[in-house]
């Protein structure tokens, strides 16, 4: 079931009304049943896989807590189980072809397709969530949950199932126990978040993705550099608005149940440096990486290498963290390169921060802060190239961006005068004006959010602004409904 579909909203709202009327002891059972029903709309097999995954993690969590002398061992075993689970199901392309070949020699040909059927949605998110839970129990930050239903709701609560946010048990369970009361302000906020999410998805992200020709990320050298730059901008804003839009929608839906989910995005493209960028982009994953990879690595290295400014302490923690981030997105060289680039950006920033006269970002003059925003955005956008395509093509894309071909201005004049009606826009070697228009909308929308200083900023808009917003959104939804261009959420693939 798509989270942008009318049926999803209608069913969720009806389910939330029932939820608020149920006695507390049945509330979690209801949420678990809803989550199972939601999973079943994707595939009934997922229910079996996720039931197994949840049960094993439940047992592991209890074991980590109860094994006073062997906590570390059980936690390590739990991590191995979760990583192996991810590897076996999601990264099956590493072993499946070889296994398929072996089985074929034994005359057994149809069994391996089963693995593909069983890869549950949002598995990467579930795995990191389970690992954080096990480590938190091991470190005594949280007690293992004894109530299986409560535990299962934490694991597979349907609004966060597809693409997070990655919730910590110690933060999520209290929210589950004390849901916010459904009053007008909560309802307004939830609807505002949903509308903002739909706007980001339908008006900005989907069109930006659709406007990039399929060949651009396959054979970039056959396009003029100026268009490649525009398509990279389209991809950068498309990816951000796609994921931020998704998060906004499911956070709004979750509020109907009175459960606040962690915010995942806070205007990342307005970041003035990469440390800030990673505090604003995919926040729940960034915080997970910070707490479970960066800090432990940095602490461990600092014990061995002193002083604090030792180059190993400066280079390895961000590098390892970002490489893990790349690997989490998928085991492929291009994602390793993407992670390495972000690691490098942070290393360079750390080196700059060591200068004697280094000043905190907030104290910098406005023009340096603005310059920082521009440079950070450009570098982040350049890093999206290997995020999106294999390394070889990514290198060609970067190369192609430098290869500008003068646009056919004369052809444009003739076309606008109607003298050469058969001339195609592509032949003019100019970026699409519609794409530029949507990019402007994307930037203006972020500026509005920045001005509003809150994620549900449309609540503070004037009536006229809201009316215009609803009309544009309704019109875009209507055209999207008439269109065949259906773009799934990008992070649903992780």
Partner 1 sequence: MTQITNHSEIQKKSFRRQNKRSFFASLAWGILAFIFMMGSLEVLAHTKYINKVFLTRSVGSYHTQFEIKWFALQHYVDKNHGVDVVILGNSMVNTGIDPVIFEDKYYSLSGEKLRVFNFGVEALTVEPLSVLAQLINERYHPGTIILFTEMRDYIADNGTEVTRQFLDNSWMRYQMGIPSLEGYLVDHTAIFKYLLTWRNWSSASFLDDQRTVLYRQANVTPQGYEPDRNQDVFDPSQPSVVDPAQRDKFALAANFEIAPSRALNLQEVISLNTTGVHVIVTEMPVYPTYFAYFGPASVRTQYLQDLGLLVQNAGGVFVSAIPYTDIPLSGRVDDHHLNVDGAPIFSELLAEQLYTACENHQSCIYPASSDTQP
Burial-class residue 474 by CB neighbours within 10 Å (0-12, 13-18, 19+): exposed
Asked if 324 contacts 293 with a C-beta cutoff of 8 angstroms, the reply is yes
136 forms part of the interface with partner 1 (CB under 8 A): no
Judged by beta carbon, residue 254 or residue 321, the one nearer partner 1 is: 254
Shortest Cβ 329–partner 1 spacing (Å): 25
Asked if 249 contacts 470 with a C-beta cutoff of 8 angstroms, the reply is no
SS3 22: coil
Q: Cα(231)–Cα(237) distance, rounded to whole angstroms? A: 10
423 forms part of the interface with partner 1 (CB under 8 A): yes
Which of 174, 172, 150, 143 lies closest to 61, judged by CA?
143
Judged by beta carbon, residue 94 or residue 475, the one nearer partner 1 is: 475
Q: Which residue in 41, 266, 353, 448 binds partner 1 (CB under 8 A)?
A: 266
Shortest Cβ 342–partner 1 spacing (Å): 21
Q: Which residue in 300, 467, 486, 493 binds partner 1 (CB under 8 A)?
A: 467
Shortest Cβ 468–partner 1 spacing (Å): 8
Spell out the long-range contacts of 273-281 with Cβ–Cβ below 8 A and sequence spacing 24 or more: 273/349, 273/361, 273/372, 273/376, 274/342, 274/345, 274/346, 274/349, 274/376, 274/379, 274/380, 275/346, 275/349, 276/361, 276/376, 277/376, 277/380, 278/342, 278/346, 281/240
Judged by beta carbon, residue 98 or residue 464, the one nearer partner 1 is: 464
Q: Cα(125)–Cα(79) distance, rounded to whole angstroms? A: 14
Q: Cα(216)–Cα(231) distance, rounded to whole angstroms? A: 8
Q: Which residue in 5, 109, 300, 426 binds partner 1 (CB under 8 A)?
A: 426
From 100-108, 141-149, 205-213, 301-309, give the range in contact with partner 1 by CB under 8 A. 205-213
Provide the terminal-to-terminal Cα distance of the chain, rounded to the nearest Å. Answer: 17
213 forms part of the interface with partner 1 (CB under 8 A): yes
475 forms part of the interface with partner 1 (CB under 8 A): yes
From 7-15, 301-309, 396-404, 482-490, give the range in contact with partner 1 by CB under 8 A. 482-490
Taking residue 91's Cβ as centre, other Cβ atoms within 10 Å add up to 16
Q: Which residue in 43, 45, 100, 210 binds partner 1 (CB under 8 A)?
A: 210
From 116-124, 322-330, 392-400, 446-454, give the range in contact with partner 1 by CB under 8 A. 446-454
Query: Which tokens is 67 given?
Result: 């094994």
Q: For 266, list phi and psi in degrees, rounded to 5.
A: -140, 75
From 59-67, 142-150, 378-386, 456-464, give the range in contact with partner 1 by CB under 8 A. 456-464
463 forms part of the interface with partner 1 (CB under 8 A): yes
Query: Which tokens is 323 given?
Result: 């490489």
408 forms part of the interface with partner 1 (CB under 8 A): no
459 forms part of the interface with partner 1 (CB under 8 A): yes
470 forms part of the interface with partner 1 (CB under 8 A): yes
312 forms part of the interface with partner 1 (CB under 8 A): no
Helix pair angle (169-177, 148-156), 10° resolution: 110
Q: Which residue in 98, 214, 360, 417 binds partner 1 (CB under 8 A)?
A: 214
Judged by beta carbon, residue 213 or residue 390, the one nearer partner 1 is: 213
Q: Which residue in 113, 178, 300, 483 binds partner 1 (CB under 8 A)?
A: 483
- Among positions 359-378, residues that touch partner 1 (CB under 8 A) are none
DSSP secondary structure letters along 350-387: HHHHTSTT---GGGS-HHHHHHHHHHHHHHHHHHHHHH
Q: Cα(381)–Cα(170) distance, rounded to whole angstroms? A: 35
Q: Cα(320)–Cα(323) distance, rounded to whole angstroms? A: 5
Judged by beta carbon, residue 114 or residue 214, the one nearer partner 1 is: 214
111 forms part of the interface with partner 1 (CB under 8 A): no
Asked if 293 contacts 320 with a C-beta cutoff of 8 angstroms, the reply is yes
# binding residues, partner 1 (CB under 8 A): 56
Query: Which tokens is 334 given?
Result: 């291009």
Shortest Cβ 433–partner 1 spacing (Å): 8
485 forms part of the interface with partner 1 (CB under 8 A): yes
Q: Which residue in 75, 128, 134, 211 binds partner 1 (CB under 8 A)?
A: 211
Judged by beta carbon, residue 120 or residue 207, the one nearer partner 1 is: 207
Q: Which residue in 33, 88, 267, 348 binds partner 1 (CB under 8 A)?
A: 267
Q: Cα(239)–Cα(201) distance, rounded to whole angstroms? A: 10
Helix pair angle (225-256, 6-21), 10° resolution: 30
Burial-class residue 359 by CB neighbours within 10 Å (0-12, 13-18, 19+): exposed
- Per CB under 8 A, residues contacting partner 1 are 180, 184-186, 188-189, 191-192, 195, 206-208, 210-214, 260, 263, 266-267, 270, 415, 421-426, 432, 434, 438, 450, 453-456, 459-461, 463, 466-471, 474-475, 478-479, 481-485
């Amino acid at each position: 079931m798509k989270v942008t579909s009318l049926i999803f909203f209608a069913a969720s709202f009806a389910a939330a009304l029932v939820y608020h009327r149920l006695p507390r002891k049945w509330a979690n059972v209801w949420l678990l049943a809803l989550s199972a029903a939601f999973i079943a709309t994707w595939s009934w097999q997922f229910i079996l896989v996720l039931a197994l995954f949840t049960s094993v993690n439940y047992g592991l969590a209890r074991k980590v807590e109860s094994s006073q002398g062997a906590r570390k061992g059980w936690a390590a075993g739990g991590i191995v189980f979760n990583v192996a689970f991810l590897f076996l199901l999601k990264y099956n392309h590493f072993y499946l072809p070889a296994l398929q070949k072996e089985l074929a020699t034994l005359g057994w040909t149809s069994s391996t397709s089963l693995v593909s059927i069983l890869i549950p949605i949002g598995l990467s998110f579930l795995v990191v969530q389970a690992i954080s839970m096990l480590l938190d129990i091991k470190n005594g930050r949280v007690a293992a949950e004894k109530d299986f239903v409560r535990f299962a709701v934490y694991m597979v609560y349907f609004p966060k199932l597809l693409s997070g946010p990655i919730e910590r048990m110690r933060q999520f369970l209290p929210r589950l126990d004390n849901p916010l009361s459904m009053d007008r302000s909560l309802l307004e906020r939830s609807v505002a978040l949903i509308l903002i999410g739909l706007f980001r998805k339908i008006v900005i992200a989907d069109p930006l993705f659709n406007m990039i020709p399929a060949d651009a990320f396959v054979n970039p050298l056959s396009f003029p550099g100026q268009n490649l730059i525009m398509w990279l901008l389209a991809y950068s804003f498309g990816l951000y608005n796609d994921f931020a839009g998704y998060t906004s929608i499911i956070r709004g839906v979750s509020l109907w149940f009175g459960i606040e989910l962690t915010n995942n995005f806070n205007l990342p493209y307005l970041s003035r440096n990469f440390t800030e960028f990673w505090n604003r982009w995919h926040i729940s994953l960034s915080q997970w990486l910070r707490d479970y990879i960066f800090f432990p690595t940095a602490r461990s290295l600092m014990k061995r290498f002193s002083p604090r400014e030792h180059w190993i302490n400066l280079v390895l923690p961000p590098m390892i963290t970002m490489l893990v981030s790349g690997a989490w997105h998928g085991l492929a060289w291009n994602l390793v390169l993407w992670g390495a680039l972000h690691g490098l950006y942070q290393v360079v920033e750390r080196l700059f921060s060591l200068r004697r006269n280094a000043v905190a970002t907030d104290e910098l003059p406005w023009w340096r802060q603005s310059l920082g925003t521009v440079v950070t955005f450009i570098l982040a956008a350049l890093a999206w190239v290997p995020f999106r395509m294999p390394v070889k093509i990514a290198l060609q894309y970067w190369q192609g961006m430098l290869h500008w071909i003068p646009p056919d201005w004369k052809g444009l004049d003739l076309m606008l005068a109607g003298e050469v009606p058969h001339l195609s826009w592509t032949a003019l070697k100019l970026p699409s004006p519609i794409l530029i228009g949507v990019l402007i909308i994307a930037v203006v929308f972020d500026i509005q959010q920045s001005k509003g200083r809150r994620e549900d900023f449309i609540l503070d808009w004037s009536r006229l602004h809201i009316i215009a917003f609803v009309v544009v959104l309704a019109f875009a939804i209507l055209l999207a409904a008439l269109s065949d261009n259906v773009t799934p959420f990008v992070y649903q693939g992780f």
